[in-house]
């Protein structure tokens, strides 16, 4: 399993409804995401996906996989406000 880094963004109301996927592989995140969303029962959540700046090829693989997964499940999502992570986080 990948190493988990500390979230550098301010914690707001969503502290307990936040899933930080930094340091994980794409193969690991979709199962974590599914379990996390089911456990929150439709509440507003923040998913920290990062921007892919440390990916070997510069492609934000986790971000793209999460966006695709959410869209396929017809789950409404938006990028966070800049203080919540900007386009490196999804709400």
Q: Which residue has the tokens 């971000």?
A: 63
* Strands of the sheet with 89-90, listed across from one edge: 18-20, 46-48, 89-90
pTM above 0.85, yes or no: no
Mean predicted confidence (pLDDT) in 8-18: 58
Running DSSP on this structure, what letter comes out for residue 13? T
pLDDT, tens digit, 9 for 90 and up, residues 56-71 = 788 888 889 999 999 9
Whether the Cβ atoms of residue 58 and residue 52 lie closer than 8 Å to each other: yes
């Amino acid at each position: 399993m990948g190493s988990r880094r500390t979230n550098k963004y301010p914690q707001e109301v969503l502290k307990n409804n936040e899933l930080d996927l930094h340091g994980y592989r794409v193969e690991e995140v979709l199962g974590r995401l599914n379990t996390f969303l089911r456990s929150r029962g439709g509440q507003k959540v923040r998913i920290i996906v990062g921007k892919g700046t440390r990916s070997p090829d510069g492609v934000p693989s986790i971000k793209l996989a999460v966006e695709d997964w959410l869209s396929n499940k017809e789950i409404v999502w938006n990028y966070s406000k800049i203080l919540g992570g900007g386009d490196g986080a999804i709400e």
